[in-house]
A and B are shown apart, each in its own frame.
Chain A
Amino acid sequence: GDSVTQTEGQVALSEEDFLTIHCNYSASGYPALFWYVQYPGEGPQFLFRASRDKEKGSSRGFEATYDKGTTSFHLRKASVQESDSAVYYCALGEQGGRALIFGTGTTVSVSP
């Protein structure tokens, strides 16, 4: 079945550092790809999506580009802030499907 792999389980950074979280997917069709962010005690919040090859999604300084060739959707931010500390999930929406398939999540901790 379809799946999402996030390489980093935990990332520790200082403010103004560059953030990269690697996300790779496996899907039989042409899925939509999402990034969600989850703060303690809350549900996942939609960050952005991309639906086709080479499309870039972005929000709040975060960005990721859909790459069908490498089956990747890596999350990047040039300069993180303490308020970016959260768990980040890459997710896949199957073509014509209804469920979101989530990666295992990456906990980002940013210290001042």
Chain B
Amino acid sequence: GPKVLQIPSHQIIDMGQMVTLNCDPVSNHLYFYWYKQILGQQMEFLVNFYNGKVMEKSKLFKDQFSVERPDGSYFTLKIQPTALEDSAVYFCASSLGTGDYEQYFGPGTRLTVL
């Protein structure tokens, strides 16, 4: 099936540093998402992005977070500065539409903030 790629698979950084997580969504998809999963807990929605704009974000999407997709390249999640509680696996997803359209997920980036 369609593949979403995420780079890197693991990232270890010191608290206070900036980190950028990269996602290569399915080529013809229009909607892009980030989800956060702390080890052993459920997947939680962070943000979704369409036509160059944030459409919806959750309370987990702190002011230190930002997303963009410059010129159709990677869809990125930037955290600046990072905090210890940002340690989690971050999943990117994409879809053709919303509502009852399925979302396709990448393999995740495991972020460890020391």
> Which A residues lie within 8 Å of B25 (CB)?
none
Q: Is the CB of A94 within 8 A of B107?
A: no
In the bound complex, do residue A100 and residue B100 qualify as a contact, i.e. CB atoms below 8 Å apart? no
B58 within 8 A of partner (CB): yes
Given contacts A43-B91, A43-B107, A97-B56, contact A102 B102 (CB under 8 A): no
Contact check, A89 vs B99: say whether CB atoms are below 8 A apart: no
Q: Is the CB of A102 within 8 A of B42?
A: yes
Give A16 to B48 CA distance when docked, in angstroms: 40
Q: B56 contacts A98, CB within 8 Å?
A: yes
Please give, as numbers and ranges, the residues of chain B lying within 8 Å of A89 by CB-CB distance.
Answer: 42-43
Query: Contact at B91–A44, with CB atoms within 8 Å?
Result: yes
- Assess the A100–B103 pair: CB atoms within 8 A: yes
CB distance from A48 to the nearest CB of B (A): 9
Tell me the minimal C-beta distance from B47 to chain A in angstroms: 9
Contact (Cβ within 8 A) A43 B105? yes
In the complex, A95 Cα to B56 Cα: how many Å?
14
- When the two chains form their complex, are residues B42 and A42 in contact, meaning their CB atoms are under 8 A apart? no
Does B28 make an interface contact (CB < 8 A)? no
Interface size class of A (residues with CB under 8 A): 20 to 34
B99:A93 contact, CB within 8 angstroms: yes
Q: Which residues of B contact A51 (CB under 8 A)?
A: 100
Find out whether the CB atom of B108 lies under 8 angstroms from the CB atom of A97.
no
Instruction: Decide yes or no whether B75 CB sits under 8 A from chain A.
Output: no
- Chain A, residues 74-112, CB within 8 Å of chain B (1/0): the string is 000000000000000100011111111111110000000
Q: How far is the CA of A44 from the CA of B107 in the complex (A)?
A: 8
CA distance A101 to B58 in the complex (A): 11
Please indicate the chain B residues that have their CB under 8 angstroms from the CB of A42 in the complex. 107-108
B: which residues have CB within 8 A of A? 1, 4, 31, 33, 35, 41-45, 48, 50, 55-56, 58, 91, 93, 98-108
